[in-house]
């Protein structure tokens, strides 16, 4: 962890050509450095009114050479993202000018920010809690409107507020039990701890139940399209995407490697992985490598779309693929429904849902999407006013807290000493604190913020 007394700087917009690019500084020397680098457009105007954009030029203090024409803004603490002095210089969005502005800031005493360090400072300075900080990354990386809506809700404190409510119940119960231990001889007004723990457990259980669905909306699901050669896997990918992304020919084995594309499926990011046809005993070394990659993709996928050619009888390779896929969630896609059905599907993964489609004629695709969505979400649809946990880390912490609360409740019902109950309640509070940041360890912060880009 670096010192908060450092002034940090970074390019906060993606590198490349664009209309504008942003260099951000945060720390006690941000204004001093900005005064050195930024020359106002109007001669003699050296004042820096806060929260206003000023037109001018970025200059090299050592030579007086102009580097870029820009707009600059100074935002004094504590009303800033980091609760420190912040300066933002908006220049032209090219790699060279942005890097030159950044290098000048570093030369004048700033330090290059580490990944997520601006948001880390916002957390450490109490502007947001850890769950809200993680929501910032979720907003940046959202692939669908549903994922964005969940992230914005978390940034606004929906999850934090629910956890805070549970914590208040547990803290109240813990304080009462500790008082009965420390002041056993005094008359302490009775408190219904049983009901308090039941309410806390119900709230936590509700959050844990919705976590799998929330994680899917945030991270999406990986669906591997597998099958023997020439059954229409690449055609299915193109039809779902409504764009010719994969090469399609009548020649078996055209696809030699995996190909990934993301589809927005009613708010769920569906990552489709087109794979090489799985054939046995091929002599082509490249094709063998493609087959191995197809098997690996199928084993790593959340869902397998097993494509068969409905216009032909099943072959031995189709049944071989069944053995590979039978332990995974599977949807059977019977392609070429525009042709007479010739495949005998009796006993062919009977527990898996089946959808007849025609990738060529664009038939049955809406039904396939519904089946995939139902398979992924278990028939549940995102409610706009619901609180969904979207992080695996949060889900694990909530599950531990729920287990401890239930253990405390059972201990209390068994009539055991209050000391045993308080042990579990403290552990539950620690687990909840890992989500909002009250009890988080430094190495956990490193893991969380290392996923951020530099400049955020």
Determine the pLDDT at residue 393. Answer: 93
pLDDT for the residue 288:
58
pLDDT of 110 reads 96
**Is 415 inside a domain boundary?**
yes
| Same structural domain, 245 and 285 | yes
Q: How many CA atoms lie within 13 A of 427 on its CB side?
A: 16
- The pLDDT score that the predictor gives to residue 286 is 52
Tell me the average pLDDT across 152-173: 94
If asked whether residues 223 and 300 sit together in one domain, one would say yes
Number of domains in the chain: 3
Mean pLDDT throughout 335-349?
Answer: 90
User: What confidence score (pLDDT) does residue 254 get?
Assistant: 45
Domain end point (choices 86, 113, 140): 113
Beta bridge pairs of residue 24:
10, 88
Same domain, 349 and 370: yes
Residue 146, domain extent? 132-210+389-449
Q: 258 pLDDT band (50/70/90 cuts)?
A: low
Among 377, 409, 434, the domain-final residue is 377
pLDDT band at 104 (very low <50, low <70, confident <90, very high): very high
Same domain for 242 and 345, yes or no, is yes
Residue 226 and residue 369 share a domain = yes
Same domain, 236 and 353: yes
Residue 18 has pLDDT above 90, yes or no: no
249 located within any domain? yes
The verdict on 314 and 280 lying in the same domain is yes
H or E stretch at 151: helix 145-155
CB < 8 Å & 24+ apart, contacts of 247-253 = 252/277, 252/279, 253/229, 253/277, 253/279, 253/282, 253/284, 253/287, 253/290
- Report the pLDDT value the prediction gives residue 255, as an integer from 0 to 100: 46
Q: Are residues 440 and 399 in the same domain?
A: yes
Q: Is the bond leading into 81 cis (omega within 30 degrees of zero)?
A: no
Structure tokens at 320: 């071989």
Q: For the chain, what is the mean pLDDT?
A: 87
Do residues 394 and 422 both lie within one domain?
yes
Question: Which domain-ending residue is among 356, 377, 398?
Answer: 377
Closest Cα to residue 104, out of 167, 16, 41, 36?
36
Residue 121 lies in a domain: no
* Average pLDDT estimate for 133-147: 90
191 compared with 325, residue with greater pLDDT: 191
Could you tell me where the beta strands, DSSP code E, fall in 6-121?
8-11, 18-26, 38-40, 53-59, 66-75, 86-93, 111-112
Is 427 a domain residue? yes
The CATH number of the domain holding residue 280 is 3.40.50.300
Q: 253 and 398 share a domain?
A: no
Check residue 334 and give its pLDDT: 94
Highest mean pLDDT: which range of 154-163, 227-236, 269-278: 154-163
Of 211-225, 282-296, 427-441, where does the model show the most confidence? 427-441
CA 250 and chain centroid, separation: 39
What pLDDT, on a 0 to 100 scale, did the predictor assign at position 230? 83
Helix (H) or strand (E) holding 223: strand 221-226
Instruction: Summarize the confidence of residues 420-440 as an average pLDDT.
Output: 94
pLDDT band at residue 251 using 50, 70 and 90 as cut-offs: very low
In degrees and rounded to multiples of 5, residue 419 shows phi and psi of -55, -40
- Report yes or no on 124 lying in a domain: no
- 414: domain CATH number is 1.20.120.430
Residue 125 included in any domain:
no
**Quick check: 143 pLDDT over 90?**
no
List the structure tokens of 152: 């914005």
Closest CA to 119 of 101, 94, 137, 104: 137
Same domain, 335 and 269: yes
Q: Does residue 62 register a pLDDT over 50? A: yes
**Is residue 257 scored above 70 in pLDDT?**
no
Domain assignment of residue 279, yes or no = yes
E strands, 79-166, are: 86-93, 111-112
Average pLDDT, integer, range 67-96: 95
Looking up residue 64, the CATH number of its domain turns out to be 3.30.1360.120
Q: Are residues 236 and 357 both part of a single domain?
A: yes
> Is 122 inside any structural domain?
no
Which pLDDT value is given to residue 122? 95
Query: What does the pLDDT average to over 255-267?
Result: 74
pLDDT of 285 > 60? The answer is no
With 80 as the cut, is the pLDDT of residue 107 above it?
yes
């Amino acid at each position: 962890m670096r010192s908060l007394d450092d002034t940090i700087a970074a390019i906060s917009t993606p590198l490349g050509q664009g209309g504008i690019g942003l260099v951000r500084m945060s720390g006690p020397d941000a204004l001093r450095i900005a005064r050195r680098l930024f020359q106002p457009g109007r001669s003699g105007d050296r004042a820096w009114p806060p929260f206003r954009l000023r037109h001018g030029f970025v200059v090299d203090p050592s030579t007086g050479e102009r580097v870029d024409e820009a707009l600059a803004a100074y935002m004094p603490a504590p009303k800033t993202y980091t609760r420190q002095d912040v300066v933002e210089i908006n220049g032209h969005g090219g790699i060279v000018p942005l890097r030159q502005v950044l290098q000048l800031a570093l030369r004048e005493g700033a330090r290059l920010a580490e990944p997520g360090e601006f948001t880390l400072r916002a957390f450490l300075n109490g502007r947001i809690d850890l769950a809200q900080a993680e929501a910032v990354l979720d907003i940046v990386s959202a692939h669908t409107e549903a994922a964005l809506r969940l992230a914005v809700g978390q940034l606004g404190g929906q999850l934090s507020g629910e956890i805070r409510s549970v914590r208040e119940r547990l803290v109240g119960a813990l304080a009462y039990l500790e008082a009965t231990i420390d002041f056993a001889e005094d008359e302490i007004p009775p408190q219904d701890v049983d009901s308090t723990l039941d309410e806390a457990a119900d709230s936590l259980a509700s959050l844990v139940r919705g976590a799998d669905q929330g994680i899917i909306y945030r991270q999406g699901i990986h669906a591997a399209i597998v099958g023997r050669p020439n059954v229409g896997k690449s055609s299915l990918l193109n039809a779902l995407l409504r764009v010719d992304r994969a090469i399609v020919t009548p020649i078996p084995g055209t696809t030699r490697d995996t190909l990934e594309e993301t589809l927005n499926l009613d708010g769920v990011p569906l990552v489709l992985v087109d794979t090489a046809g799985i054939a046995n005993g091929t002599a082509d070394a490249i094709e063998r490598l493609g087959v191995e990659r197809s098997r690996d993709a199928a084993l790593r996928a959340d869902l397998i779309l097993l494509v068969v050619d409905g216009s032909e009888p099943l072959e031995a390779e189709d049944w071989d693929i069944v053995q590979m896929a039978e332990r995974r969630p599977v949807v059977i896609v019977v392609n070429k429904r525009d042709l007479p059905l010739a495949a005998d599907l009796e006993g062919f993964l009977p527990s898996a849902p089946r959808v007849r489609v025609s990738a060529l004629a664009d038939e049955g695709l809406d039904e396939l999407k519904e089946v995939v969505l139902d398979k992924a979400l278990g028939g549940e649809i995102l409610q706009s006013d619901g609180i969904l946990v979207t992080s695996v880390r949060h889900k694990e912490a909530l599950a531990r807290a729920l287990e401890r609360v239930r253990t405390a409740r059972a201990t209390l019902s068994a009539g055991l000493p209050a000391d045993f109950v308080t042990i579990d309640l403290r552990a539950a509070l620690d687990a909840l604190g890992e989500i909002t940041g009250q009890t988080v360890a430094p190495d956990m912060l490193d893991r969380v913020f290392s996923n951020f880009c530099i400049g955020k």
